[in-house]
Amino acid sequence: MNHRAIRAIYLFEMARTWRTLLQSIVSPVVSTSLYFVVFGAAIGSRISQVEGVSYGTFIVPGLIMLSVLTQSIANASFGIYFPKFTGTIYEILSAPISYFEIVLGYVGAAATKSIILGLIILATAGLFVPLHIHHPVWMLAFLVLTAVTFSLFGFIIGIWADGFEKLQMIPMLVVTPLTFLGGSFYSIDMLPPAWRTVALLNPVVYLISGFRWSFYEIADVSVAVSIGMTIAFLVICLVVIWWIFRTGYRLKN
């Protein structure tokens, strides 16, 4: 294992985060705070409790997941797309480093960043609404699992994209709608039965449901199913990445 190479990539990516602190950390925190003001305070004050929890409190896990998902994808996809775009990928490809180690460096850094972000948003939420986390270990486990899974997904997008438009396309057209329709702001029990069935096809529902359970012990689907679905998605991403490196797809001629 070339641990020095993993460390070099990881630290290089993290350095980019500190260098672009404003975009990386501050802007997601500001936008999440706006969600709390609009949905939590303004609209939430007119909504009765959801499954025994005040609306402002109810949306906290969903909002954290919303940021973690989008930031994991954005960090990882940009992290690997940028060297492709500038051409510096030549050095990664010619280094004595395995594909697994490359992924570990890039995905590790992207996931670390979004976990830190998730925790910052959690702390910010604590300023707006009272919070009590029933299962902090599970909460962290869901946070890490989601960050890693979606960083892997972002890595795939970064390799697949051959232009900045494509880099934006999947997050804008697929991920954001799935997250909004995934129960960030409501329980899927609040949907009409037909839509509830449709919602269950949305993988994000399982992530948010499991994460919310770790906070308040309320869930749309069972926790085991949530974990199972997340791990299934993780495995799919790993298989796709394995295939990318085996074939050199969009990396090697």
Partner 1 sequence: MSSIISVANLSKTYGSGFKALKNVNLDIKRGEIFALLGPNGAGKTTLISIICGIANPSEGRVLVGGEDIQTSYRKARSLIGLVPQELHTDAFESVWATVSFSRGLFGKPKNPDHIEKVLKDLSLWDKKDSKIITLSGGMKRRVMIAKALSHEPQILFLDEPTAGVDVELRKGMWEVVRTLQQSGVTIILTTHYIEEAEEMADRIGVINKGEIVLVEDKATLMQKLGKKRLTLHLQNKISSLPESLAHYELDLCDSGATLVYDYDTKGDRTGITSLLSDLRNAGIRFNDLDTTQSSLEDIFVDLVRTS
Question: x/- string (CB under 8 A) for partner 1, residues 3-22?
Answer: -xx-xxx-xx--x---x---
Question: x/- string (CB under 8 A) for partner 1, residues 95-134?
Answer: xxxx------------------------------------
CB of 158 to partner 1, least distance (A): 16
CB of 35 to partner 1, least distance (A): 31
Q: How far apart are CA 73 and CA 147, in angstroms?
A: 9
Structure tokens at 225: 């199913």
Q: Is 136 in the site for partner 1 (CB under 8 A)?
A: no
Q: Is 248 in the site for partner 1 (CB under 8 A)?
A: yes
Q: Which of 46, 91, 130, 224 binds partner 1 (CB under 8 A)?
A: 91
Task: Considering the complex, state which of residue 82 and residue 138 has its C-beta at the smaller distance from partner 1.
Answer: 82
Q: How far apart are CA 248 and CA 246, in angstroms?
A: 6
Task: Considering the complex, state which of residue 59 and residue 76 has its C-beta at the smaller distance from partner 1.
Answer: 76
Q: Which of 22, 86, 132, 224 binds partner 1 (CB under 8 A)?
A: 86
CB of 15 to partner 1, least distance (A): 7
Question: x/- string (CB under 8 A) for partner 1, residues 189-218?
Answer: ------------------------------
CB of 86 to partner 1, least distance (A): 6
Q: Is 159 in the site for partner 1 (CB under 8 A)?
A: no
Check residue 217 and give left, alpha or beta (phi > 0: left; psi -120 to 50: alpha).
left
What residues have CB less than 8 Å from 61, skipping those under 6 apart? 208, 211, 212, 214, 215, 216
Phi, psi angles (nearest 5°) of residue 133: -100, 115
CB of 90 to partner 1, least distance (A): 5
Q: Which of 65, 76, 92, 103 binds partner 1 (CB under 8 A)?
A: 92
Task: Considering the complex, state which of residue 19 and residue 134 has its C-beta at the smaller distance from partner 1.
Answer: 19
Residues contributing to the site for partner 1 (CB under 8 A)? 2, 4-5, 7-9, 11-12, 15, 19, 86-88, 90-98, 248, 252-253
